[in-house]
Amino acid sequence: MSISSLPPELVLIIFERLYYRTDQWTRELDYATLAACSLTQHSWYFPAQRLLFRHIPKCVRPICLFDDIRILDVILTPEFVPDLAFLLANCTRLYELGLTARVFTLPPSVPSANIRALRLVECSVQSPILYGLLALFPAVRFLTIDTEIVALPPPAAAPPPALYELVLKRSLSADILTWILANSLGSLRILELKDLPSTDMKDILGPHGPYIHSLRIFRFSNNAASILRSCVNLKEFVLSSLPVMGPPLVKLPSPSSTLV
């Protein structure tokens, strides 16, 4: 079968598999390969272009491409609030929102959206904006928190629905982590910890261990070892930094686990 006779559905599946680079552990798009595909065959041009323009910087404002945007990264300042409201209303197929907050709370003019992945890159440590975001985007299943948060959930705030993936760059207090995971027992499959987990975090994460399939830890410790031991159905274990001292890295929970 020649490439010109491939069904469009198969071409799209191939391109989506090429969407991210596979040579490193990043979310970086493989622009070079997709661009080459768009020039290889006339019938490949439009499907490849649609994927190339799913991630567009703010300075580019192609109205006709809004429906194709999947990832939106913004720095939310008071001046940018109208732009964010406009983008959320017009990017109807948005999948992931990355937010750097320069405001303390979420303005009421920001509309809700059916996004599945939320990344809070930065905010004030005392800001309650995380809880406002999760209330505004109830379909979130993939949550990344890249900043320190000490503000407790408001008393009336409802916990997010069942999460599939949780990525934490900094440790969270017991109250905050308990609230975030209140509805995720049995659904959490991917857990990534970039900071040393506290004893409280270990105790809270323990019941989720049997359901976790991928555990990614930046540094190993006794608490991290305890979390690892609770993951009895683990399929992947990623350790970014080998400890000079600490608990031995032996007896992975499952013989089918992959150590990376």
Whether 81 contacts 48, CB under 8 Å:
no
**Type of residue found at 80:** F
Place of tokens 């194709």: 68
* Phi/psi of residue 146, nearest 5 degrees: -100, 10
Which portions of the chain are predicted below pLDDT 70? Answer: 1-4, 20-28, 53-65, 243-260
Query: End-to-end distance of the chain based on CA atoms, in angstroms?
Result: 37
Place of tokens 């994460």: 205
Q: Which helix or strand (DSSP H or E) is residue 136 part of?
A: helix 129-136
pLDDT at 57 (0 to 100)? 57
Q: Is 62 exposed, middle or buried (0-12, 13-18, 19+ CB in 10 A)?
A: exposed
CA nearest to 231, candidates 249, 217, 250, 252: 252
Whether 164 contacts 189, CB under 8 Å:
yes
pLDDT at 23 (0 to 100)? 57
Domain boundaries, given as residue ranges, for the chain: 1-52, 54-158, 184-260
pLDDT at 32 (0 to 100)? 79
Q: What is the pTM of this model?
A: 0.76
